[in-house]
Amino acid sequence: MGKEVIGMDYVIEMLDVSKKFGNFYANDHITLQLKKGEIHALLGENGAGKSTLMNVLFGLYQPDGGEIRVRGEHVAITDPNVANDLGIGMVHQHFMLVENLTVTENIILGSEPTKSGMINIKDSAKKVAEISKMYGLDVDPYAKIEDISVGMQQRVEILKTLYRGADILIFDEPTASLTPQEIDELLNIMKKLVAEGKSIILITHKLAEIMNVSDKVTVIRKGKGIGTVITSETNPEELATLMVGRQVTFKTEKGPSHPTEEVLKIENLQVNDYRGVAKLKGLNLSVRRGEIVGIAGIDGNGQSELIEAITGLTKVKSGKIFINDEDVTNKKTRKITETGIGHIPQDRHKHGLILDFSVAYNTALQSYYHEPLSKGGIMNYKVINERAEELIKEYDVRTQGTHELARALSGGNQQKLIIGREILRNPDLLIAALPTRGLDVGAIEFIHRRLIEQRDSGKAVLLITFELDEVMNVSDRIAVIYDGTIVGTVIPQETTEQALGLMMAGHSKDVAEKKVLAAEKDGDEQHVE
């Protein structure tokens, strides 16, 4: 893990770089050296200073100390244009694309090539197609952004940097919004890019990706450089320990469940979406006190509609929903919440938080109408603030204070805020939809522990997730959803990921288990998928 000798084969060297905000060191003497043709991962928790470091490299921030060299030469990157000229391109986590323009139009935006005053789309599209082919990006230059998948939109972002001549690419949390399949594709593309001589810095907190694709890993923790390791000489456990600063358990520890009476009961539930297309087609489900039921399935098989139906955010066409034996079908959201539901929504920005409200206001969002938070129509912001202080302490929400806007919090801290808010209301049923999306291992562990605590205190938990690991680790029972119905319910200890995968593709439990058995007999599990 020692410092390496400075040589000419480094394309980027950030040596002892520091960046201060006020008295706070966001980057405290960090060194990162990127060799030509390598994928160098930058690993750290949410808020560890990864993005700050990359923004320094990209010219968005000026460093307060240290030196940056590009291809051996000392440079001052004063703004992103300088970075572009040096061949540094950034693929942002949140895409910067104009939805109703085509791929080519987006790529040339800002530097449109003209031919006697007219934009020359044809030549540009040809060039885009060439680059796309060269790196196997498979992007149609004439497709409109709004018509293509998230994965392809990201490839357009990659194309954009390549089109502008970048040979050093920074990927900022590139897999945060991708499906597992899209992630695989992206990692392959990255490998192809370095094979063609590009160099890549990959910002991430996902260990599996790092192990899969990177050559080296630089770990930072709380703004400090912890060191650089060679990927082939390390393992996920070591990386996680380096990143978090303590031992991290991947397999969440939990005792056996002791389910008692039923809290949630769904009978033959049918829900249509706003276009009238059937999304839930007679779904049955039961969740009891003292157990975590995981809903496993591929995105778009009715999970959103299921949550919205339970919480009263969408109309139920037919069927019944009972909470604690009370019929809540098509009741108002507030009424259902009051029967004892806590809801961690899948989209924390859209549903979970009001980003322009303070942290304190957000903690009151589900309970502001109760005494003592408000009385006789008048809010008591003093009490709200005190409660918020308690919540951020108990749930380790890292913030400058309860007056800070929720927008300013990192994703992990936003999620902890929501989870704290929902659990502190002490609900009989906690609905957790993708509770760990986009979070680092430390935060994931924290959240899983909270869910299990909730179960152990005799509450019911309904966990909706797209992550197989999560559903296998945390649930006591797994209900697999496919095309609007539950195709089977399994116990995690009695099944395999292969069988679950087959059920998620629509096979019944029996068929899935038989197929897995047959495949094992063949001694080649690869054929199953």
Number of H helices, E strands in the chain: 17, 24
Whichever of 167 and 308 has its CB closer to another protein, that residue is: 308
Residues β-bridged to residue 73: 70
Between the two ends of the chain, the Cα-to-Cα distance in Å is 39
Locate tokens 């293509």: which residue? 148
CA distance 228 to 31: 9
Minimum distance of another protein from residue 283's CB (angstroms): 21
Using CB under 8 A as the binding criterion, the count of chain residues that bind another protein stands at 27
Q: Should residue 176 be labelled a site residue for another protein when binding is judged by CB under 8 A? A: no
Which C-beta is closer to another protein: that of 327 or that of 338?
338
Question: Which span sits near another protein by CB under 8 A: 35-43, 172-180, 337-345, 490-498?
Answer: 337-345
- Binding of another protein by 330 (CB under 8 A): no
Binder to another protein among 132, 270, 311, 410 (CB under 8 A)? 311
> Minimum distance between the CB of residue 265 and another protein, rounded to whole angstroms?
22
Pick from 141, 294, 352, 438 the residue near another protein by CB under 8 A: 352
Write down the least CB distance from residue 354 to another protein, Å.
Answer: 5
Residue 350 found at the interface with another protein (CB under 8 A)? yes
Q: Which is nearer to another protein, 81 or 333 (CB)?
A: 333
Q: Is there binding between residue 303 and another protein (CB under 8 A)?
A: no
Tokens coding 363 = 């903690």
Q: Which is nearer to another protein, 273 or 497 (by Cβ)?
A: 273
Whole-number minimum distance, CB 320 to another protein, in Å?
21
Please tell me whether residue 313 binds another protein under the rule CB under 8 A.
yes
Residue 101 contacts another protein per CB under 8 A = no
Is residue 521 part of the contact set for another protein (CB under 8 A)?
Answer: no
Nearer to another protein, 94 or 334 (CB): 334
Considering only 178, 278, 365, 424, the residue that binds another protein (CB under 8 A) is 365
CB of 280 to another protein, least distance (A): 19
- Rg of the Cα atoms in the chain: 25
Give Cα 249 to chain centroid, integer Å.
20
Among positions 371-430, residues that touch another protein (CB under 8 A) are 374, 377-379
Concatenated DSSP letters of 250-313: SS---------SEEEEEEEEEEE-TTS-EEEEEEEEEEETT-EEEEE--TTSSHHHHHHHHTTS
With CB under 8 A as the contact rule, the residue among 289, 343, 387, 507 that binds another protein is 343
Q: Is 211 among the residues that bind another protein (CB under 8 A)? A: no
Does 366 participate in binding another protein (rule CB under 8 A)? yes
Task: Provide, rounded to whole angstroms, the least separation between the CB of residue 462 and another protein.
Answer: 16
Q: For 46-196, where are the E strands, in sequence order?
A: 65-70, 73-74, 88-91, 114-115, 118-119, 168-172
Q: How far is CA 76 from the centre of its chain?
A: 33
Per CB under 8 A, 368 contacts another protein? yes
Please tell me whether residue 337 adopts helix, strand or coil conformation.
helix
| CB count in 10 Å sphere of residue 290 | 19
> What is the Cα–Cα distance from 312 to 336, expressed in whole angstroms?
7
Min CB(425)–another protein separation in Å? 12
Q: Which residues of 456-495 are buried (b: 16+ CB within 10 A; e: fewer)?
A: eeebbbbbbbbbbebbbbbbbbbbbbbebbbbbbbebeeb
Distances from the Cα of 133 to the Cαs of 104, 138, 140, 147, 152, in angstroms?
A: 14, 6, 10, 20, 14
Contact residues toward another protein (CB under 8 A) are: 311, 313, 332-335, 337, 343, 345, 350-357, 361, 364-366, 368-369, 374, 377-379
